[in-house]
């Protein structure tokens, strides 16, 4: 039986961030979504809630995103994340494979 993933939502439940505790003292962002209007600061508000909610001994937040997801790359970099790795052919779907970037942020 798997444990439920913590989920942070804003007033509009289409705005959410799912996360889990990783190995060691890390936190993994699994999914970030905002409603149809982007660039309104809601993703950054979700991240602020995450930073408030995670265990105090956590030292790193990381996330994995598709190479093609340029909006996510901009958001992570704007919020102080840096690229810490590349995962070759990480995503496999109906269209083939796609690599991913791993972002990390010390906290």
* pLDDT at residue 10, rounded to an integer: 83
* pLDDT at residue 9, rounded to an integer: 84
pTM: 0.84
* pLDDT at residue 22, rounded to an integer: 81
Q: What are the tokens at 38?
A: 């982007």
* pLDDT at residue 4, rounded to an integer: 56
The bridge status of strand 82-93 relative to strand 7-9 is unpaired
Long-range CB pairs of 68-73 (<8 Å, 24+ gap) are: 68/98, 71/38, 72/32, 73/101
Q: Residues of the chain whose pLDDT is less than 50?
A: 1-2
* pLDDT at residue 3, rounded to an integer: 52
* pLDDT at residue 1, rounded to an integer: 40
User: What are the b/e assignments for 49-83, b being 16+ CB within 10 Å?
Assistant: ebeeebeeebeebbbbbeeeeeebbebbeeeebee
* pLDDT at residue 13, rounded to an integer: 80
* pLDDT at residue 101, rounded to an integer: 96
* pLDDT at residue 40, rounded to an integer: 76
Q: What are the tokens at 31?
A: 């999914």
């Amino acid at each position: 039986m798997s444990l439920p993933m913590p989920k942070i939502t804003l007033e509009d439940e289409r705005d959410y961030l799912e996360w889990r505790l990783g190995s060691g003292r890390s936190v993994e962002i699994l999914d970030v979504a905002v409603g149809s209007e982007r660039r309104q600061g809601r993703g950054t508000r979700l991240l602020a809630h995450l930073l408030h909610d995670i265990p105090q001994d956590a030292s790193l937040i990381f996330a994995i995103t598709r190479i093609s997801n340029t909006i996510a790359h901009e958001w992570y970099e704007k919020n102080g994340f840096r690229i810490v790795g590349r995962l070759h052919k990480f995503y496999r779907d109906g269209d083939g494979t796609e690599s991913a970037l791993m972002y990390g942020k010390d906290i």
